[in-house]
Amino acid sequence: MSEDAVVEPTATPAVKRMRLRYAGICSRCGASLEAGVTADYDRTSKTVACVECPARRAMPERAEESAAPRHAITPGAPPQLEVVDGTAGGSAAREFDRRHDARRQCVQANHPKIGRFLLAVFDDPQSTTAWATGAVGEQLLGGMLARIAGPTLRVLHDRRIPKTTANIDHLVVCSSGVFVVDAKRYKDARPALRIEGGLIRARQELLVVGGRERTKLVEGMHKQLGLVRAALADQPDVPVQGVLCFVDADWPLIGGSFTVQGVSVMWPKKLKAMLAEAGPLDADRIAELQWQLHEAFPRQREV
């Protein structure tokens, strides 16, 4: 593409074919439409209509009524969620509690006389404490997102990926699109981009944190992005972007953020600034997308 080429933005379709979440009335023929049937929803007039609608019946109308749809209804749009839905870090905190309690019970059962002493002297293994560390990172980032949330920036925390034990830390819907945000807490470790290859062998972009390769974090984000894009397959004009947000990391004073394999890597304040950028989505569309993502990725079950 030449530098002078101009790419026109893709307009959002005015009419969307969807399954109705609520019963309505066809704006063209007046027929009742039950919840769950497929119909056309007009975002502009906020009305629904049959997919194969017969011609509207000729009915006498007053002149002042003819300019507006006779059967305009509250849109078949989803019910509103709170601007922040879910509990940040909930799954990680519950997993830490589960592992911590299981270890405590095991030690006390195997060593009834000195179990309490052993628990007091020896800490939980790193495989257990990592869940507590992760929960704190999610909670810190969740607090920042809650402070900037509103009608044009909606957040879903700790979302369950159906048929798996995995979760998505944060989904943010704002005027510039949908952001899949994974909170990471590597205290005092510096994230960096490492490039390998490029001449004899293929060029590779690697994520390094504190001197150790952590590219698996990027691979995990790409899996989440694939699921979110599939859930929004009927909304192809909505950008979906992945972010690895490192809390308490050792970031340099100048620069620091980067992109690795298409995934943005940054800190909370940088993420806050990016989410504040203007975009084409309005408050109604943002609320609709939040609900659609909520249906695809429900809240985690609290036990």
Closest CA to 227 of 285, 293, 173: 293
Burial class (CB in 10 A: 0-12, 13-18, 19+), 32: exposed
**Would you state the pLDDT for residue 265?**
97
Return per-residue pLDDT of the chain as tens, 303 residues: 444 444 444 445 667 777 766 566 676 666 666 767 788 877 666 577 788 765 433 333 333 333 333 333 344 545 678 999 988 776 666 666 777 778 777 867 887 788 677 667 667 776 676 657 667 778 889 899 999 999 999 999 999 998 888 899 999 999 999 999 999 998 889 999 999 987 788 889 999 999 999 999 999 999 999 999 999 999 999 999 999 999 999 999 888 899 999 999 999 999 999 999 999 999 999 999 999 999 999 988 765
Task: Give 46-80 pLDDT, tens digit per residue.
Answer: 577 788 765 433 333 333 333 333 333 344 545 67
Q: Which residues pair with 39 in a beta bridge?
A: 18, 50
pLDDT in tens, 179-191: 999 999 988 899 9
DSSP code at position 301: P
Structure tokens at 108: 């006390």
How far CA 178 is from CA of 97, 210, 277, 285, 302, in Å, comes to 31, 29, 12, 11, 25
155 by Cβ neighbours in 10 Å (0-12 / 13-18 / 19+) ranks as buried
Q: Please state the pTM of the whole predicted model.
A: 0.69
Phi then psi for 54, rounded to 5 degrees?
Answer: -70, 165
